[in-house]
Structures are given as structure tokens and as C-alpha cells.
A and B are shown apart, each in its own frame.
Chain A
Amino acid sequence: MKPSNTRKGFFAEGVLTAPSFLWLALFFAVPTLIVVSFTFHGHTPNGGVAESWSLVTWRALADPDYPSIIWRTLRISVEVTLWCILLSLPCAYAIARMDKRRRPLIAAAIMLPFWTSFVVRVFAWRTMLHPDGWLQSCYLSYLRCCEWLFNCLPAFLQHALTGLGLASPEPLDPALATALDSEVAVVLVSVYSFLPFALMPIYSAAEKFDFSLMEAARDLGANSFYAFRKIFVPCIRQGIVSAVLMVFIPAIGSYVIPQMLGGTNCVLIGNKIFMRAIQNRNIPHASALATLMAVSVLVPMALTVWWRARQKARDKKKADIGMAAQIPGATV
């Protein structure tokens, strides 16, 4: 019997976990519930929450701007997460393969940016992305390539990309296409800011990875890239999952970066929440936006978890059938 099943074990476990449990309840669960309950009240002109219960706040969310802002926030968060993971994987691999003595140095270098203020670092990007700077000219060349590629695509793909907001059919106007105060700046600087959060968990998983498995894969005929994808990446998936959470969650709520680098072209949900809470002094409305955002993230996550569990159960069943097949006369 497990200790938790016995009375004594249960008591001991309870005493030991009570502080952290209380902490979570007090500072996480209760505030979340308060925020959700705010959404079922109106607001008072002086920035308070109205006494009476009502659905005015939810009705006010029918602002036609919101769906596109939520969609943009999700899209940018996914983009940022993907970039962070894609950049972290080869980096983590390279660092983990390095001489043991040099690794702490590299790890320290990754953490180095945290010694400077986040706001200062983000502000520095404003200078670097200045319309007269070399990053801007790189960006323009990149846009020209994209435009050329877009024009090569068949019409239905062009429509699809336009519909998803990933492309625009209008010809490029160099005067308007500035990297600063655009979505590109937000993605770029978000990737820059969040990269260490992705690199750290992936690196610590990669450090525990047994690199002789890569040799074994090569030995059995795999090329390096195949071995990287099919052996290295699956083996460090725990690190990748943590990295995704470490980047995606702050990216969803990010508002300093779009505020400073996105201008009016890249307003995200974080900015809207800030605007409603501080400028309009409408706490219930801000709460409703936050709740909406949380739901739009939690639902796909829950679906993924459910789908994974089902997949696992299927695998298990397959294994059981495989075993049963070995026992003569066994019925499946």
C-alpha cells in the first residue's frame, strides 16, 4: 500500500504540503476567482466594481476589434514560441556537446542579459530598428523576397494567406514598411527576450541526453539530421514542453514589448487589458478580456492533453493485444 493510503501517511503528507497548497489557494486560485467574478459586474465611473450582478461587461465585449486582437495575440505567441524552440534546439545541442568545463561559461552568458533592465533592453531595440539603420534595410530586402515568393504562388494560396492575415496583396511601399512599430519588431524582440527561457529547459534536458544514441542512430544508417529529429528531439521532449510553457504563457500576456515596439499596428490583448484597466478605469472589462484570453488558451491545451491521453491508452491496448497474442487460446 502506498503511504498516502494509510491514515498516518495521509496526515504526514497533508502537513507537509499544506503550506504550498495554502499559498497557491490564497494567491492563485482566489485571485483568479475574484477576477472571473468581476466580469459579472458593471463598473462605476470612479473605477470601482458595481455592486449588482449583471452581464453588461460581457455584452460590451462584442467590440468588433477584439476577435482580430485575440487572433493576433495567439498568432504572435505561437510564432514567438516556435522561433524560440527552433533556435534553442540546435543551440542546446551544441552546448551540451561542448567540453564540460566550458559549459557553465556559456550558461552564464545566456543569463547575462538579465543583469540589465528589461525595459532598457527593449528600448535599445528602438534605436537598432531605426528606419535609417541597417536592420531596416535587411528587413526591406526580406520583404522584397517575400513579395516575389507570394506572387509566384497560385491564386487560392494567395487568398488563403491573405485571409489568415499572414500576407497582404498590396504592393510593397518602402516608406510604410518600417520594421519599427510593426508586428515584425514585436516578434523579433519577443524572441530575443524569451529565448533564454526556452534555451534553459531545453539545454538542461539536452545535458542529460545520452549522445551515444546519436552514434547508434548514425551507425544504423540515419543521417545526422534524421538522428537529430527522430532521436534527440523526442528524448528531450520534456524540456521542450517546459520551454513552450515558459515562452508561450508570458508571450500571451506580453504588453511592454508591443507597447514600446509595436506602435498602433500591433496592439495585443495585453495592451487592451492595460488600456481598459488603467486608462478607462474599467476593471470588469479588463477582467473579462483576461478571462477570455485564458479560456482561449486553456481550451486548446485541455484538448491536447485529452488527445494525448487517448493516444496513450490506444498504445497500451495495442501492447496488451500483442502480449495476448502470445498466449495460446487467449481471446482478445
Chain B
Amino acid sequence: MSDFLVIDKVSKQFGALTAVDSVSLGIKKGEFFSLLGPSGCGKTTLLRMLGGFETPDSGRIYLDGKDITDLPPNQRRVHTIFQNYALFPTMTVRENIAFPLRIAKLPKAKIDESVDAMLEMIQMKAHAYKYPSQISGGQKQRVAIVRALVDNPQVLLLDEPLAALDLKLRQHMLMELDIIHDQVGITFIYVTHDQGEAMSLSDRIAVMNRGRVEQLDQPAKIYEAPISSFVAAFIGDTNFFAGEIVSAEGDYCTIRCEGFGDIQAFNDRKLAVGQSVHLSVRPEKIHVTTSAPPPEKGAGVNVYSSTVTDIIYQGVYTKFWIKSGERSVSALKPHSRFLLDQEPITWNDKVFMWWHPDDGYMIENFSESDAGLVQTPPDAPKEVSGK
């Protein structure tokens, strides 16, 4: 299937700042597509160009085969859900939802029918004659969504639609959005800086950084096989190990890591001996035990005896900072009675940390600046230099 919405080398400049830098994306019809990236990376700007509120400095945008780059917003069948909902305060819920249909000059009976169907879908018939100031945040959100869906647009753009809601409501709306997307089958483009939201909803995610798309893939691929140190560090948390390949046989290679030791890793890119590489190992893949792992579990590789330097209780998980050689490594351990190792681990315990060679992922594009995104062990309280 060819792409429904094509973004072709689109750039946008604000003065000296390049907000969107030659972004190319192809989005399929009916897809739930997410743009994920830190604040200020150009997500909103890209979305505004899709909505028609900004014109790209260069590049074209095609929707269903038609060039829409220069069309004004009211001539695109693309609707936006704004972060502040943008409900019209002087109109009731009903009038708000009917707004796009009234512009299309549909007959009154037809408008009423469509609006009723929408109110039914979000279970807000009882609130039809209320004004936006009289309904709750979650309800406003729902009204904004159906107002944008009522005239059956080709694409729905959502710019951090849940950012203003509290955690429980956000989780609930997330589910509801998923259901609505399944019901209407319209292409959704969802902008967020929250990886959890993007992971749980999207068919595909484009991770953006400094105006560029770093990686475009399915959520699991983005998480398990990050293409760059930015993606690895921005999505979840990780440990980076820098080193040099000292041996490579078959699918695996050994990386000598200064100040830590030798690490065995899956060599999917078939790198040769002598190459310097960066390995990313996610904290939850690292096991922490008081006794050495049984050989069949860890196969005797990537086992390091180390010392616990810090323990941070996080509810579902406990985070351990462990030191091996000169390296501090973070590891996450879920709470469960059925774990291998039931003795409690405390500060300064001698422990073993180990992980399977397949659980390390070699990063193709590494930049030192991204290493700063990774969590570092909490320092001992610094002495405040008094004035």
C-alpha cells in the first residue's frame, strides 16, 4: 500500500533556528502514527505545517496523492486537536460539535443526526446543552475529539492532547483514544513527549531530535533496537559501554571496555576486530544476585562481581546502582517472591550482575552529548560552599 500522507524533505526555519530540518515521512491510511521527541524538537511545528498554519520553507506535503503544501487550513480535510482543547466558549457542546457541519451547510436534520451519533459515542448526551466552562477537562477533551471527527476528515492531528490531564484520566483517555481510532479508522498523527503514551497507542513512532527524525519504527523496535544513542537514552533509560572489539566469532563478539571488563554482545552488524563501539544495556535486562548465576542461565559470560552503592525504591521496581571496577551501572529489579534470589540486598553488599549477550545492543550513531541524557548515580551530597 502506498503512503496516504507523504512528507517530502520538509524544512522550517525561524530566524537562525531550524525548527524542522528536512523531514521525510510516509504515513499509511488509518495508521496511528506518533511523533515523539523532547520539548522543542519541532513536533508542533511539523504538525502545524500539516494543518496548514505554517508554510514549509522547502519541501512538499502530499495527502492522498494531492499536493496540499500551500492550501489554507480550511481547505484541507485535516483537523487538529489543540492542547488547550480550543472549544468555542460561546457555544454549547452541541453547537461546538455541529460547527464543522454548519460550515459545510448540511441540512439541519443531517447535522442533528451526526451530532447525536457523536454525543452517543462519547456518552455526553446529558451535557449537550452545557457550555465548555461547565464541563470537566476530560469531557472537554472528548468534545474536542468528536468535533474534529464529525465531518469525517482524512487525517486527525493531535498535539499533546493529554498533557493537561491528571495521570488517571490520562490513562483512561489513552484507552478511549485507542477505541475511537479503531471505530473511525481515520489516520491519527499523535504528537507527544511522553514515551509511554506513544508506545502504548502507536502503530509506528517517529522519534524526533533537533528538527530531524532519528528513527522511524514500531514501538518495540524503537525500544529494543535504538539506532542512535539519542533514541536509546530518550526512550527509557540505559547504560552505555564504550569499548573496542577484541574478538568476533560468528554472531557474537567481545568488547573490551576500559575500567569495566570484557562484554560479549550480539554482533548483528558484523563489525570487525579493532572497531570501537558503544553498547547499550537497559537496566531491567541486568540481573543482580548475591550468588553467582547458575551456568545455564547466564552461560557464564557477562558476569561481573560488584558492590551495591545505592538503592532507590520505585514501587514496581527497585533501582540498584552497582559499581564494578570504575563503572557505575544501573539495574532494575521487580519485586516478586518468585525471583531466583530472595535474600534482600542492601548497601555495600557484594553482588553479581549479569546479562545475556543478546540483551546488549550496539549503537550505530553515538554522540557524547546524548550520554548526558542517561541517568547518573546520585552523588554524595556536595558541600555547599557558603558565601
Contact = CB atoms under 8 A, between A and B. Distances in A.
Interface of A: 210, 212-213, 215-223, 226, 231, 234-235, 237, 315, 318-319, 322-323, 325-326
A315 B129 contact: yes
B104 A322 contact: no
B220 to A, nearest CB: 33
B74 interface: yes
28 contacts: A210-B84, A213-B86, A213-B88, A215-B80, A215-B82, A216-B82, A218-B52, A218-B53, A219-B52, A219-B53, A219-B73, A220-B79, A220-B103, A220-B147, A221-B74, A221-B100, A221-B104, A221-B151, A223-B74, A226-B103, A234-B90, A235-B89, A237-B90, A318-B129, A319-B130, A323-B129, A325-B125, A326-B126
Contacts of A220: 74, 79, 99-100, 103, 147-148, 151
Interface in B152-208: none
A229 to B, nearest CB: 12
A216 B86 contact: yes
A81 to B, nearest CB: 22
A326 B129 CA distance: 12
* Chain A at the B interface: SS class: helix
Among all A-B residue pairs, the 5 with the closest Cβ atoms: A319-B129, A216-B86, A234-B90, A326-B126, A220-B100
A174 B54 CA distance: 53
A325 B128 CA distance: 11
Contact of A326 (B72, B89, B125): B125
B330 to A, nearest CB: 41
Contacts of B51: 219
Interface string B236-272: 0000000000000000000000000000000000000
Contacts of A218: 52-53, 72-74
Contacts of A322: 125-126, 128-129
A216 B80 contact: yes
B325 to A, nearest CB: 54
B161 to A, nearest CB: 13
A245 B200 CA distance: 56
A212 B84 contact: yes
Interface of B: 51-53, 72-74, 78-80, 82, 84, 86, 88-90, 92, 99-100, 103-104, 125-126, 128-130, 147-148, 151
Contact of A235 (B53, B90, B130): B90
A235 B87 CA distance: 12
A18 B73 CA distance: 55
Contacts of A215: 53, 73, 80, 82, 86
Contacts of B86: 210, 212-213, 215-216
A112 to B, nearest CB: 33
Contact of A212 (B73, B82, B100): B82
Contacts of A323: 126, 129
Contacts of B84: 210, 212
A217 B99 contact: yes
B135 to A, nearest CB: 12
Contact of A222 (B74, B80, B130): B74
Contacts of B151: 220-221
Nearest to A218: B73
A212 B80 CA distance: 11
A221 B103 contact: yes
Contacts of A318: 129
A233 to B, nearest CB: 9
A326 B123 CA distance: 10
Contacts of B72: 218
A103 B148 CA distance: 34
A170 to B, nearest CB: 44
Contacts of B80: 215-216, 219
Given A212-B82, A220-B103, A235-B89, 14 more contacts: A212-B86, A219-B52, A219-B53, A219-B78, A220-B99, A220-B151, A221-B74, A221-B103, A222-B99, A226-B103, A319-B129, A325-B125, A326-B125, A326-B126
B284 to A, nearest CB: 40
B84 to A, nearest CB: 6
Contacts of A223: 74
B149 to A, nearest CB: 11
Contacts of B78: 219
A217 B80 CA distance: 10
Of B52, B78, B126, the most chain A CB neighbours within 10 A belong to B126
Contacts of B104: 221
Nearest to B128: A322
Contacts of B52: 218-219
Contacts of B100: 220-221
A218 B75 CA distance: 9
A297 B92 CA distance: 33
Contacts of B129: 315, 318-319, 322-323
A295 B103 CA distance: 42
